[in-house]
Amino acid sequence: MPRYKTLEPTAAFWSWRDDAACIGHEDLFFSLEEEAKGERREKEERAKRVCMTCPVLGSCRAFALETKELYGVWGGLTEAERHRIAGRHRTG
């Protein structure tokens, strides 16, 4: 069982994120439905560059994959990349 399944969301649950490079740049990591595909891809690439400098990249990526996070860039992976890793197809 993934370790996150047994935890309640608390400050301790999210403490790994305290040192994340994305803090203060959250708008870069999530796209709006009305954004053009090219704009979305550019934002994703910029977000991934921030991720590559992040000291908690591994924890972030593990969290996103274990919790099946559906939206945004997490741990240097886009929504589509996480879906491919999980063997799912994105429907939206």
Rounded Cα distance between 47 and 36, Å, is: 16
Token pair 């491919």 is found at 84
Return the closest-CA partner of residue 27 out of 9, 39, 14. 39
54 assigned to a ligand binding site: yes
**Has 63 been labeled as part of a binding site?**
no
* Calpha distance 43→78 (Å, rounded): 10
Bridge partners of residue 77, in order along the sequence: 74
Tokens 């996070």 belong to: 69
Query: Is 80 annotated as belonging to a binding site?
Result: no
Which residues contribute to the annotated binding site for [4Fe-4S] cluster? 22, 51, 54, 60
Which residues contribute to the annotated binding site? 22, 51, 54, 60
